[in-house]
Amino acid sequence: MRAARLLMPILLLTACSERAAEPVALNLTDILGGSDVEGFERAYQPREFHFPKDHAAHPGFRNEWWYFTGNVADPQGSRYGYQVTFFRTAISPMARSGESSWAVRDLWMAHAAVTDINGRRHHASQRFSRANPGLAGASINPLRVWLDDWQLTANAPDFQDSDSQNSDPGSTSSQKGPQNQYPQNTDSPIKEFPWHLNIRDEDFSLQLSLIALKAPVLHGDQGLSQKSTTRGNASYYYSYSRLDTAGQLCLQGSCTAVAGLSWFDREWSTSSLDAEQSGWDWFSLQFDSGEELMYYQLLDLAGQADSNSSGSWIDRQGRRRAVARSEIELEVLSEWQSQAGQLYPVRWRMDYLPDAKSWVVQAAVQDQLMDLAIRYWEGAVEVYDTQSMRLVGRGYLEMTRSM
């Protein structure tokens, strides 16, 4: 399979170490494109979502990821952004009878990064592994997503699967804990949270506990997120848009307690991008008002917005309103250029037309390039009201470009 051919050289390069000596650039369109899909499941129509079951792997699909981003601060007011992502890519659509436990069916990649906003520094790392025998994976009972010792876990001993479909969030009820609200309609939310994110690398480490303040949000058409006009070029996509976050962050040997907010994206598909698409700009914004906005702008080969661009507006109670491309206007105000010559917009004006809202979204640090096997810009952003230039929120921005 093409994805396997793309990732296998990376595994060979990293067979004796956690990182390749030099990043090897992969083409995102090749990985997420619509070729080499025979035998895999496709995202053709809406489906029922089951929580926490859908946090585990979906081996019938070719690609999936678990994506955390967040903005936290220490007691002295120093601010940090962080990202942790687990990627799974399947070589073949099904396991073979009598297959060895060492057989390579799934390839795993994980990215982690910390942005020291006050110090104007960005630190990033990556790891690779096969799934077997137990080197990487995603399972429930209890929840665990891992690649070696990088892992997401839930430590509740009675963590159970549920067959209930997610419903539209309404009211919330209080539970004992550090100022957390558990949505009534999630499937056993007390059992599911807190989650624990543990990442240890040479330059940085994260030990964070996360509790959802809102129910999961299904994007697109009841969770079916169409990425191009080609049928099946879509993903199943949901988010926890507001996670109370607390723990410890260590950076180059210095550790500090941190607290703030995180965002969790969960997505799986077999193909997403068309050959005529060159990448995307993805925004996840958390406003001080208690609302959130997710919007992705898909790009054509000329770098213009694709008609399948869309998003979600999430109110204080966790209710979602679909956001169409026609309802968002984006204007690039300034750009940052990487050493390779690629331009990335790092200051935007964003207008949300239904509510007549306008913001300036700007990078907390301009150079937050993930110069890894897949090269992309991902970093913490600050959100300002356009008229008053008052800080009204924070979030994350991801920008990908085909090589």
Residue 14 CA to residue 5 CA, distance in Å, equals 15
Q: What confidence tens digit (pLDDT) does each residue in 284-306 have?
A: 999 999 999 999 999 988 888 88
Q: Is the pLDDT of residue 310 over 60?
A: yes
Q: What confidence tens digit (pLDDT) does each residue in 58-82 have?
A: 999 999 999 999 999 999 999 999 9
Please name the fold of domain 2-401: AttH-like fold (2.40.370)
What does the pLDDT read at residue 303?
83
* Count of alpha carbons within 13 angstroms of residue 121, beta-carbon side: 8
Which SS3 state, helix, strand or coil, does residue 94 take? coil
Q: Is the pLDDT of residue 104 over 50?
A: yes
| Contact call for residues 134 and 154 (beta carbons, < 8 A) | no
Maximum alpha-carbon separation in the chain:
66
Report angle CA 312, 317, 319 to the nearest 5 degrees: 35
Task: For tokens 């090749």, name the residue.
Answer: 30
- Arithmetic mean of pLDDT, 263-267: 98
Confidence of residue 125 (pLDDT cuts 50, 70, 90): very high
| Contact call for residues 248 and 255 (beta carbons, < 8 A) | yes
* For residue 345, cis peptide bond before it (omega within 30 degrees of 0): no
What does the pLDDT read at residue 155?
74
Confidence of residue 22 (pLDDT cuts 50, 70, 90): very low
- Between 43-57, 100-114, 370-384, the lowest mean confidence (pLDDT) is in 100-114
Residue 209 CA to residue 74 CA, distance in Å, equals 15
In which element (H, E) is residue 250 found? strand 234-251
Q: Is the pLDDT of residue 185 over 50?
A: no
pTM of the shown model = 0.86
What does the pLDDT read at residue 107?
93
What does the pLDDT read at residue 166?
47
| Contact call for residues 184 and 170 (beta carbons, < 8 A) | yes
Task: For tokens 């990043």, name the residue.
Answer: 23
What does the pLDDT read at residue 191?
65
Alpha-carbon radius of gyration of the chain:
20
Q: Dihedral (C-alpha) 194, 197, 198, 204: value to the nearest 10 degrees?
A: -130
| Contact call for residues 143 and 129 (beta carbons, < 8 A) | no
Q: Is the pLDDT of residue 172 over 80?
A: no
- Arithmetic mean of pLDDT, 134-149: 95
In which element (H, E) is residue 127 found? strand 121-130
Q: Is the pLDDT of residue 161 over 60?
A: no
For the chain, what are the domain ranges? 2-401
Higher pLDDT, 210 or 92: 210
What does the pLDDT read at residue 277?
80
What does the pLDDT read at residue 179?
34
- Tokens found for residue 14: 């990293």
